Amino acid sequence: MLAAVMAGTTLAGCGGGEDKAKEDSSAKAEEKTEDKEDKEEEAASGSEGVSGAEDAETTLKWAIWDMKTATYWQAIADAFTEKNPDVRIEMTDLGSTDYNTVLSTELSGSGSDFDLVTMKDTPGY
Contacts of 66 (CB under 8 A, 6+ apart): 93, 96
Q: Which residue in 90, 89, 105, 99 sits closest to 119, CA to CA? A: 99
Angle among Cα 62, 63, 64 to the nearest 5 degrees reads 115
Residues of the chain by 3-state class (helix, strand, coil), percent to 5: 65, 15, 20
pLDDT at residue 124 in the model: 59
pLDDT at residue 45 in the model: 44
> Quick one: 115 and 77 in the same domain?
yes
Confidence at 19, pLDDT banded by 50, 70, 90: low
> Quick one: 38 and 22 in the same domain?
yes
pLDDT at residue 85 in the model: 93
> Quick one: 119 and 66 in the same domain?
yes
> Quick one: 71 and 49 in the same domain?
no
> Quick one: 62 and 96 in the same domain?
yes
Distance CA 24, CA 30 (A): 10
Kindly report, residue by residue over 39-94, the tens digit of the pLDDT.
455 444 444 444 455 567 888 888 888 878 778 888 989 999 999 999 998 888 88
* Parent domain of 13: 1-56
Provide the number of structural domains found in the chain. Answer: 2
